[in-house]
Amino acid sequence: MPAGETIVALSTPPGESALALIRLSGPDCTCLGQAVGGRKSPLPFRQAVFSKYLSIKGKLIDEVVLTAFPAGRSFTGEAVLEIACHGNPLIIQNIVEDLLRRGCRPAEPGEFTRTAFLNGKMDLSQAEAVADLIHARSERSIEAAQRQMHGSVGRKMSELTDQLLSIMAQIEAYIDFPEEDLPSEEQSGPAADLRSLTREIQELIETQHYNALLHEGVKTLIVGEPNVGKSSLINALVGSERSIVSELPGTTRDYVSAFIMLGPWRIEILDTAGLHEAGDAIEQIGIHHTIEQSETADNFLLVLDSAAPSPTLPPALLERMRPDNTLVVENKTDLPGSRSMAEVLPDCPHVRLSLLQREGIAAMREAWLQVIETGISSPQMGGVMVNARHASALSEAVEHLNLASEKLRQAELSELVAADLREAVESIGKVVGKVDNERMLDSLFQQFCIGK
């Protein structure tokens, strides 16, 4: 934002509400606070002040609470004014229009947080965490966003950078004293340190998957032969008639999805078309979709009709099912011919239930939660998790580190090794935003809402 501009936006959702918060950031905030409140002196800082809001023409628009923050001690780092008014869309519109008449400019999406980042109030990973926190839909993802907002990723990056700088110092010592040979692979020293640092960064990159699970949800596919009760299961879990249930095999033709919470997890659950060899063309397309979906699924609920013979399932699907990602649901235990089906995926946990009689559903949810918690072992790394953007910067760092290791192994010039390590430091810096790249910042902050 050009220096000198003061931005304004409604920070709460539009529509009727008890209260609404209008936020301003920029150099005019201090005089605006005084002017709109019709005060003789500026507002005291960091104190909520009950006040009138007077328009530029002196008309009373609303009774509000004004809070002023001085530059340097605010969210954005600039002077900030917060106006809590009544949540009537007309009042909000009148206040915002009045502020525009007084010379403010409407804020772009994410501009408050972007200003905070540009003013060094937070690093880029913390700014991203603000957006994650706003969009978080499960307890686990709120916790993760809060950790990141408090700087967990930034701290990890400076730890990695420090380690890398110390390796660089060791190597540069050899540039200064070329007569001393670099230690060989087996010995401790820069080569070994470099290998262990590379491993550590790789482990961090793997946490990206866990991060995606938290924010996008654990994708769970309900699969099984036609008519076994897959749609009955999704309906029981969602608590409404999400998918059509009928006694006709082949009722579900394409997948149907819904979001539910299972303990602290957000789950995307998909009901799919029954899997069987013979079937009409539409069913075959549905089955093909199921196999495609299984490639990106995190979890499977394999539903069986426990009164029917063991199913034959497509090998492409079976090979994806493991004890740590699959729960076998033996349904229809109310039928006279029902029996244990332990022979189907014998290593996976099984539960027996009757969806018709609504028996065993709570136990099934428990068992499913177990599968999720064992399968998705949360990353160690002191709770630090990276997102896709961080992972790509870290992968770049790993490439540079691998090049450096290779050069060390081949006893190439220390200057060349050091150059690769410097590149790696740069890549790690991208995670916290030590980069001068307007486009990257634009695309990142555009994902924010206006007023944040």
**Binding positions for Mg ion, rule: CB under 5 A:** 230-231, 251-252
334 binds, among ligand GTP, Mg ion, none (CB under 5 to 8 A by kind): ligand GTP
249 touching ligand GTP, by CB under 6 A:
yes
228 binds, among ligand GTP, Mg ion, none (CB under 5 to 8 A by kind): ligand GTP
Is the dihedral angle over the CA atoms 92, 96, 102, 104 positive or is it negative? positive
The residue range among 3-11, 205-213, 332-340, 394-402 that interacts with ligand GTP, by the rule CB under 6 A, is 332-340
Residue 94 or 338 with smaller CB distance to ligand GTP:
338
229 touching ligand GTP, by CB under 6 A:
yes
Residue 107 or 273 with smaller CB distance to Mg ion:
273
Q: Which of 208, 231, 299, 405 binds ligand GTP (CB under 6 A)?
A: 231
Q: Which of 356, 361, 425, 449 binds ligand GTP (CB under 6 A)?
A: 356
226 touching ligand GTP, by CB under 6 A:
yes
372 touching ligand GTP, by CB under 6 A:
no
246 touching ligand GTP, by CB under 6 A:
yes
Residue 81 or 302 with smaller CB distance to ligand GTP:
302
Q: Which of 245, 317, 329, 432 binds ligand GTP (CB under 6 A)?
A: 245
284 touching ligand GTP, by CB under 6 A:
no
Least Cβ distance, residue 137 to Mg ion (angstroms): 26
CA distances from 397 to 115, 205, 358 (A): 28, 11, 53
When computed from its CA atoms, the radius of gyration of the chain, rounded to whole angstroms, is 29
87 touching ligand GTP, by CB under 6 A:
no
9: exposed, middle or buried (Cβ count in 10 Å: 0-12, 13-18, 19+): buried
232 touching ligand GTP, by CB under 6 A:
yes
Question: What region does 411 belong to: left with phi over 0, alpha with psi -120 to 50, or beta?
Answer: left
Name the residue among 36, 7, 228 with its Cα closest to residue 108.
Answer: 7
258 touching ligand GTP, by CB under 6 A:
no
Mark residues 378-417: x for contact with ligand GTP by CB under 6 A, - for none.
----------------------------------------
Residue 74 or 252 with smaller CB distance to Mg ion:
252
Q: Can you give the binding site for ligand GTP, defined by CB under 6 A? A: 224, 226-232, 245-247, 249-252, 274, 331-332, 334-335, 354-356
